[in-house]
Amino acid sequence: MLRRVVITGMGVVSPVGVRLNNFWDAIKTEKCGIAEITRFDASRLPCRVAGEVKNYNGEDYFDRRTVLRTAMFSQFAMIAGKEAWEDSGLDKFKFEDPDRCGVLLGNGVGGLEIDDESHRRLIEKGPSKIPAMTIPKMICNEAAGNLSIYLGIRGSAHVIVTACASSCDAIGFAMDRIRCNRADVMLSGGAESATTEYGVGGFSQINSLSTNFNATPSRASRPFDKNRDGFVLGEGAGILVLEELEHAKRRGAKIYAELVGYGASEDAYHITAPCPDGEGGTRAIRLAIRDAGLRMTDIDYINAHGTATPTNDPIETAAIKAAFGDHAYKLAVSSTKGMTGHTLGAAGGIEAIITVLAIRDNFFPATINLDEPDPLCDLDYVPNKGRNGTINAAISMSLGFGGHNSVLAMKKYQPTI
């Protein structure tokens, strides 16, 4: 019999706020974190807006040596991971067997700003001027490695890279490690920081980013809206503490929600475009809900991938409708990327946290900037203003380049009698 997995801690770094309470207050009040890019001169780029973590200075959180030896995505993971760890109360708990606690994160591109700067030095000054820590800082696994070192976690530490589905997949794999008795506690989620000239320029070259709202940045990310024209790059980290239920109960931990299902599929269609009929997303939804032991009609809310690209939103809508049938029109569905931007490999972690808090507070977060719905997007997307409502079970969806589809299912924790 599979062991039950609950969520006992969470931490966030995001464009709308750092720390869990600040972040959730911003989401509940429809605060938009998208603004003109400040980290570099974006005047040469077709997209000049992004969801940056505001006024970020690593030395506000770490000593100078740590800042110099880590990329920004690793720093975000450490900040969010430490908050989640302390939120769970595990910072005061001693593991008798260190192998029973591990780290499993998702990341899409690694330390892009490190790659960018090191390449500049190579071209301008030659290979002898490449910084010595370039490789250790930029590779994707370093967020998990640095977080493990930072918190002294000595169990398994891995990273999953499935583009924008990375941290959703990571949470699903971490849940399975606990279910199958390979661990009692896993720190899981994702981190990303790709807001560089290289990153924004690269996504611009494949026509992924919004270009029509440079003058009004807060209006740029428009999931499911008829006038959407691409996603807006965001950054940050969302880390959750997953814990075996009896382990959590024995130490008197607070429980936010129960993580009950995970489903993943592959479109096998195109390297960047989703399959036009959404069939892969439909299968991932069905797999997650079946894995959870739930019925389709048990789901009250979906935190959608909802990137605001012309192709994603109607295809994701079709996937939801194919999976849920008539029940799709009774669900609340929202994309919170209108507020945070698209945080790539961190999106699944950040949006899983939003889904957990939505369940806890019985609150449907809004899809902001949804002023004129696309006729092909005809579900209840909670336009512009969040609202209260009963949420007993929900799913969070993440879809990634390469055809990756990933879905997590969560529900209110119900103690057994």
Give the per-residue SS3 of 372-393: CECCCCCCCCCECCCEECCCCE
Beta bridge pairs of residue 257: 7
CA 252, chain centre distance (Å)? 28
**Cα dihedral 206, 208, 213, 215 sign:** negative
pLDDT tens-digit readout, 110-146:
999 999 899 999 999 999 999 999 999 999 999 999 9
pLDDT tens-digit readout, 177-222:
999 999 999 999 999 999 999 999 999 999 999 999 999 999 999 9
Q: Provide mean pLDDT across the span 63-68.
A: 96
pLDDT tens-digit readout, 26-45:
999 999 999 999 999 999 99
pLDDT tens-digit readout, 79-103:
999 999 999 999 989 888 999 999 9
158 is catalytic: no
- Closest residue by Cα to residue 379 from 311, 320, 306: 320
pLDDT at 1: 79
pLDDT at 415: 84
Active-site pick, 32, 101, 140, 164: 164
Token pair 């789901």 in the structure block, residue: 299
119 is catalytic: no
262-410: CATH superfamily: Thiolase/Chalcone synthase (3.40.47.10)
Distances in Å between the Cα of 407 and the Cα atoms of 28, 280, 396 are 23, 11, 6
pLDDT at 274: 87
pLDDT tens-digit readout, 146-168:
999 999 999 999 999 999 999 99
CB 385 within 8 A of CB 365: no
pLDDT at 241: 98
Q: Which residues make up the CATH 3.40.47.10 domain(s) of the chain? A: 5-250, 262-410
pLDDT at 197: 94
Pairing of strands 5-14, 185-192: unpaired
CB 280 within 8 A of CB 312: no
E-assigned strand segments in 15-111: 17-18, 35-36, 49-50, 101-106
Q: What is the mean pLDDT of the chain?
A: 96
Active-site pick, 158, 247, 342, 404: 342
pLDDT tens-digit readout, 211-260:
999 999 999 999 999 999 999 999 999 999 999 999 999 999 999 999 99
CATH architecture of 5-250: 3-Layer(aba) Sandwich (3.40)
Residue 273 — very low, low, confident or very high, per pLDDT cuts 50/70/90? confident
Q: From CA 354, how far away is CA 67, in angstroms rounded?
A: 28
Active-site pick, 101, 168, 275, 305: 305
Q: Is the pLDDT of residue 389 over 90?
A: yes
| 287, HSE (Cβ side, Cα atoms, 13 Å) | 17
140 is catalytic: no
